[in-house]
Amino acid sequence: MKILVTGGAGYIGSHMCAELLRTGHEVVVVDNFSNGTQGALDGVKKITGVEFPFYRADVCDSPTVEEIMEAQKVECVIHFAGLKAVGESVAKPLEYYENNLNSTMAVCRAMRNQGVSRLIFSSSAATYRSDNPMPLTESSALGATNPYGWTKIMCEQILRDFCVGEPEFSVVLLRYFNAVGAHESGLIGDCPAGIPNNLMPFISQTAHGLHKELKIFGNDYDTPDGTCIRDYIHITDLIDGHVRAIDFSAKNKGCEVFNLGTGRGFSVLEMVDAFEKTNGIKLPYSIAPRRPGDIATIYANPEKAQKMLGFTAKKSLEDMCRDTWKFQSNM
Ligand code: UFG
């Protein structure tokens, strides 16, 4: 099958392309390199040995997206492109609403006009209210604490409404928990521009000597060791969830939402400890004040994806730490 991957030069998008090409699908990538890189596309080519069409374009530009769909005759779209930094979204809300909503609507418009009816959408656990009981199920209350999360809630709503108006459509909304790790080859991975906001890239860059130390944001939370707990999911497992969502979209019309997490939470200190033990590295760190907006504990109830997609995360914490370091130490 030929699949359009928006944001295919980014962290998750590049791993998706590698897996689709490995399993014999064709991919067409659109990316404006706002976060994605040529290096990620080169990595995908190296891993798979396959050339694929790439368009450097902004997905908000609906006519261009439509031209690409018309020229390439894709059957399915995976829409990863979007702005994703929580802190930046607080400082630049208009950019986030404009970009994430317009790109999603542009993709839908182009799909409708070109008769492409299957869409997989990158959503986030950031769509859940911060006062929900854990674990989070897909019916936990929605409500974000930052503009980034609100853009995902709004895009989900747009897509639900779109499916009502276009009954031939199939949209799968995937709410990611904390994606970490890298391709087993070490050739692609999470490579954020500038100083990383997220824990794992900051840990691996610190281990590589790019930062003096990791600052752990708060050790006075109501958790066993006082540091925040998150549901870290290996990128390979996350991609497997997408592959299953693609199959699901072939058999089901309408809009369906799934959590993609492991169902198991680890604290920041447990992540540091696992990284040190797995890779035999001592990581310099200190305790810093809490980061505004963080909540103590977030983890998924993954049962719906288990039941309806046959999805189970298989990779261990050690796999996450080893593969993250393999990628970072290659750079
Ligand atoms: N942390 C540190 N030091 C750092 C970076 C992070 O202590 O330098 C801590 C954070 O305080 C938090 C944990 O590590 O407790 C995880 O932080 P991340 O920034 O890696 O991830 P978040 O859980 O804050 O956010 C991630 C994604 C969001 C997504 C959200 C969904 O970045 O896009 O998960 O739950 F919305």
Residue 193, pLDDT score: 86
Work out the average pLDDT over 231-247: 98
Q: Rounded to the nearest 10 degrees, what angle do helices 317-330 and 268-279 cross at?
A: 60
* DSSP H helix total and E strand total for the chain: 11, 13
Percentage of residues in the chain having pLDDT higher than 70? 100
Return the SS3 of 2: strand
Give the other-Cβ count within 10 Å of 63's Cβ: 11
Q: How confident is the model at residue 302 (pLDDT cuts 50, 70, 90)?
A: very high
Cα(198) to centroid of ligand 1, in Å?
Answer: 5
Give the residue, 87 or 183, on which the prediction is more confident.
Answer: 183
Q: Which residues pair with 29 in a beta bridge?
A: 5, 54
pLDDT of residue 331: 83
In the predicted structure, residue 293 carries a pLDDT above the cut 90:
no
- Cα angle 272, 275, 279 (rounded to 5 degrees) comes to 150
Q: What is the mean pLDDT of residues 81-94?
A: 95
Average pLDDT, rounded, for the chain: 97
Arithmetic mean of pLDDT, 228-236: 98
Type and span of the H or E element at 259? strand 254-260
Cα 27 to averaged position of ligand 1 atoms, centre (Å): 30
Ligand 1 site residues (CB inside 6 A) read 84, 86, 124-126, 177-178, 197-199, 202, 214-217, 228, 230, 268, 291, 294, 298
Q: Which of 11, 96, 148, 176 is the catalytic position?
A: 148
Cis-peptide, bond into residue 167, ω within 30° of zero: no
The string of pLDDT tens digits covering residues 23-46 is: 999 999 999 999 999 999 999 999
Burial of 73: CB neighbours in 10 Å, binned 0-12, 13-18, 19+: exposed
Per-residue pLDDT, 106: 98
Helix boundaries (H) for 253-311: 268-279, 303-309
* CB distance 15 to 122 below 8 Å: no
pLDDT digits (tens, 9 = 90+) for 112-139: 999 999 999 999 999 999 999 999 999 9
Q: What would the mean pLDDT of 203-225 be, rounded to a whole number?
A: 97
Q: Is 194 left (phi over 0), alpha (psi -120 to 50) or beta?
A: left
Query: What is d(CA 256, CA 38) in angstroms, rounded to the nearest whole number?
Result: 33
Query: Is residue 95 over pLDDT 90?
Result: yes
For the CA of 217, the nearest atom of ligand 1: 7
CA atoms of 64 and 85, how far apart (whole Å): 26
Q: Please determine, for residue 198, whether its predicted confidence score (pLDDT) is greater than 90.
A: yes
The structure's pTM equals 0.98
